[in-house]
Amino acid sequence: MVSADAADWISTVVGERCKNATLCMDPFHVVQWATKALDEVRRQVWNVARQGGQQEAADDLKGARYALWKNPEDLTKNQKAKLSVIQDTNMRLYRAYLLKEQLRKVFRLRGKRGMNPGLRTW
């Protein structure tokens, strides 16, 4: 098994030099991609609020970027408050945040807790 990011050249090299290996995406990059997708949702929601004349909501969303990006255990008090406001006011964005965090958790689970039969595809 070879763990790597999704750069095109890696699959070529692994295919040539490790013919029997299974290529897996590394957890860091998978979560990074989810974080980028979350930020796209944040920008979309921000644009809708801004264009809809909801300037206060747009300002709150613009200032929430780091609260959405950071690991929950590293959030400041103000960032936790931002997430709480998002949870109460914008379910789409909060759901995107939860999906990113759940994906991050998948890679942190070890032992039997991490042995979800639905995830055994590798």
Q: For residue range 33-79, what is the model confidence (pLDDT) as tens digits? A: 999 999 999 999 999 999 999 998 888 888 899 999 999 999 999 99
As a three-state string, the secondary structure of 50-62 is: HHCCCHHHHHHHH
Average pLDDT over residues 100-121: 69
14 has pLDDT over 90: no
- Calculate the dihedral angle through the C-alpha atoms of 42, 43, 49, 50, rounding to the nearest 10 degrees: 150
Where in the chain are the domains? 2-7+27-107
- Rounded Cα distance, 109 and 90, in Å: 29
Q: What percent of the chain has pLDDT over 70?
A: 89
120 has pLDDT over 50: no
Other CB atoms within a 10 A radius of the CB of residue 113 amount to: 9
